[in-house]
Amino acid sequence: MATARRRGPIRAELEAARDRLLADVLPGPDDPPLRVLFSGINPGLVSAYTGHHFARPGNRFWPALHASGFTPRVFAPAEQDLLPALGLGITNVAPRATARADELTDDELRAGGERLRALAAKLAPAWLAVVGVVAYRTAFGEPTAVVGKQDRTLGATRLWVLPNPSGLNAHYTPASLAAQFAVLRRCACGDHSD
């Protein structure tokens, strides 16, 4: 009798991952300067379970990264460590893993904004791109911020807000999400025509 092969973690394993912290993907000494540091809102339970950013099936971060020209192909979440060689990194606004971002408190998001300020001061990425406009508004105290380039900077680091790539964000199709990522890529690579 053949045993059915499991496709992913079971609910109990995901719930147990709530206490895990997800390591940032940051450049090492041999990597090029950090062009863009992407900041998710917080780790989802699948990401906490696997140890990989944007790991939930249906999350459109990795396809958007490729379709916009940031990566030469669609990377799997387990290949996140290839990003620093491309001048890219990943962090999160808030470290706590949740099933949904709306489980975070405003205090957690504001504390995450302070953490991002400190990280930008330490790493000096050319761009900090927060993927989630609502989280950005709370974290940086800018209630009217919209998707795109922000006027505010963190020292030499410029700020950009991207749409949340979660499959739950029905406001953006994969193509329109990739188009938003592409505008940032053109600016980050020196083409400021946008």
The full set of domain ranges for the chain reads: 22-188
Q: pLDDT of the chain along its 194 residues, tens only?
A: 555 565 667 887 777 777 788 999 999 999 999 999 999 999 999 999 999 999 998 899 999 999 999 999 999 999 999 999 999 999 999 999 988 888 999 999 999 999 999 999 999 999 999 999 999 999 999 999 999 999 999 999 999 999 988 766 777 889 999 999 999 999 998 765 44
Question: Degrees (nearest 5) of the Cα angle 124, 154, 67?
Answer: 70
Q: Which residues are the active-site residues?
A: 42, 53
Contact yes or no for 46/56 (Cβ under 8 A):
yes
Integer Cα distance of 149 and 16 in angstroms: 37
One of 1.10.287.130, 3.40.120.10, 1.10.150.120, 3.40.470.10 is the CATH number of 22-188, namely 3.40.470.10
59-86 in b/e form (b: 16+ CB < 10 A) is bbbbbbbbbbebbeeebebeebeebbeb
One-letter amino acid of 64: A
According to DSSP, residue 76 is labeled P
What does each C-alpha distance from 168 to 44, 57, 174 come to in angstroms?
12, 11, 12
pTM of the model: 0.91
